[in-house]
Amino acid sequence: MGISADAGRQVLTEVDHNRQKKVAVINDYSSFGRCSLAASVPILAAMRIQCCAVPTAVFTNHTGFKNFSYADMTDRMDAYIADWQATGLSFSAIASGYLASERQIGYVRRFIENFSSDLHRHLQPPPLTFVDPVMGDYGKLYPSFRREVAEGLRALVLIADYLAPNLTEACVLADRSYDPEMSEKEIGELAASLATPRTKGLVITGVPREGYLVNYVYTPNAPLETIATAKIGPDRSGTGDVFASVILGGLVNGKPLAEAVRAAVTFVSHAVARAEAMQIPTTDGLPFEEILNELW
Ligand code: PXL
């Protein structure tokens, strides 16, 4: 009996870590500018999800500022797998954002493989995987992004349940030329061409159309859904990260993709309106702290 009592205590200790929904988010952290992890942590928290951040790099300011510097964290990344496995953590979801090198992508793959194995799931279903393949916008790759990295991201798509590229990123992943005037039918075909047997849903985000931003939601064997919102003011840093974080939180909380996208559209449009009213500089990210209660 002593043995089973001990075993019982052991199980209880392990289960303790996993009583609340947890998401591992692998992305960079900008201490000023409210992008990437600086958006995901508070937004997921407001959605009652514990965000376990794996920083790929830590920036003073994001790269949209004249002055910024960063510490690369790639050498630290395997320690997260080792320590978190030893701690007995399991995750409801694993998400990735900006990845700067093939090494970081390889690490994300190992992270997903390790925490999806039966041994490290503690009888929970496998984590859902969400990839925001951050590469560029308006037909151009970000200056810091190298084309070779896109190849690695294509491999990551194969193990993603959900994918949230913008039109530029979707075109790079599909290896086709960017055309900002693509018709809805062509965008639907583009989305379908990115789907793999694993895909549960895919959203092509923020396509500008006559004063609106349109999100195209592709779900296998269902008609393409379009979710549009009026574009307010200039582009603002970090908007995509806030958007992706609300979608991720919605999925983890059991919403279908289209519903999660609608919630993200509403939240981002309120945050942008607040930024305009408060005259926040476009570099500084969205003042989402003002309205986090909307996510509760
Ligand atoms: O929001 C995307 C992003 C994330 N991380 C860093 C960035 C940017 C966009 O500029 O510079 C460091």
For ligand 1, say whether the CB of 145 is within 6 Å of any of its atoms: no
Choice from 36, 43, 142 to test ligand 1 binding pocket (greatest atom count within 8 A of CB): 36
Protein residue with least CA distance to atom 6, ligand 1: 62
CA distance 12 to 17: 9
Q: Is the pLDDT of residue 14 over 70?
A: no
For ligand 1, say whether the CB of 98 is within 6 Å of any of its atoms: yes
Q: Is the pLDDT of residue 103 over 80?
A: yes
Query: Of 38-42, 137-141, 143-147, 285-289, which range is least confident?
Result: 143-147
Residues 6+ apart with CB under 8 A from 109: 155, 156, 159
Delimit the domains of the chain by residue range.
Answer: 18-295
Calculate mean pLDDT across residues 77-85.
Answer: 96
Residues 6+ apart with CB under 8 A from 90: 17, 18, 22, 115, 120, 121, 122, 124, 127
Could you tell me the pLDDT band of residue 169, with boundaries at 50, 70 and 90?
very high
Q: Which atom of ligand 1 is nearest to the CA of 36?
A: 4
The CA 187 to ligand 1 mean position distance, Å, reads 26
Calculate mean pLDDT across residues 90-116.
Answer: 96
Choice from 31, 63, 65 to test ligand 1 binding pocket (greatest atom count within 8 A of CB): 63
Q: Is the pLDDT of residue 278 over 90?
A: yes
Contact 251, 260 (CB under 8 A): yes
Choice from 35, 101, 104, 168 to test ligand 1 binding pocket (greatest atom count within 8 A of CB): 35
For ligand 1, say whether the CB of 62 is within 6 Å of any of its atoms: yes
Protein residue with least CA distance to atom 7, ligand 1: 62
Instruction: Report pLDDT for 4.
Output: 43
CA distance 172 to 168: 6
For ligand 1, say whether the CB of 28 is within 6 Å of any of its atoms: yes
The pTM of this model reads 0.94
Instruction: Report pLDDT for 17.
Output: 82
For ligand 1, say whether the CB of 241 is within 6 Å of any of its atoms: yes
Q: Is the pLDDT of residue 1 over 70?
A: no
For ligand 1, say whether the CB of 64 is within 6 Å of any of its atoms: yes
For ligand 1, say whether the CB of 68 is within 6 Å of any of its atoms: no
For ligand 1, say whether the CB of 35 is within 6 Å of any of its atoms: yes
Q: Is the pLDDT of residue 34 over 50?
A: yes
Q: What are phi and psi of 203, to 5 degrees?
A: -125, 125
Q: Is 12 exposed, middle or buried (0-12, 13-18, 19+ CB in 10 A)?
A: exposed
Q: Which atom of ligand 1 is nearest to the CA of 239?
A: 1
For ligand 1, say whether the CB of 238 is within 6 Å of any of its atoms: yes
Q: Is the pLDDT of residue 190 over 80?
A: yes
Q: Is the pLDDT of residue 165 over 90?
A: yes
Q: Is 82 exposed, middle or buried (0-12, 13-18, 19+ CB in 10 A)?
A: exposed
Instruction: Report pLDDT for 16.
Output: 67
Contact 191, 204 (CB under 8 A): yes
Q: Is the pLDDT of residue 12 over 60?
A: no
User: Could you name the CATH architecture of 18-295?
Assistant: 3-Layer(aba) Sandwich (3.40)
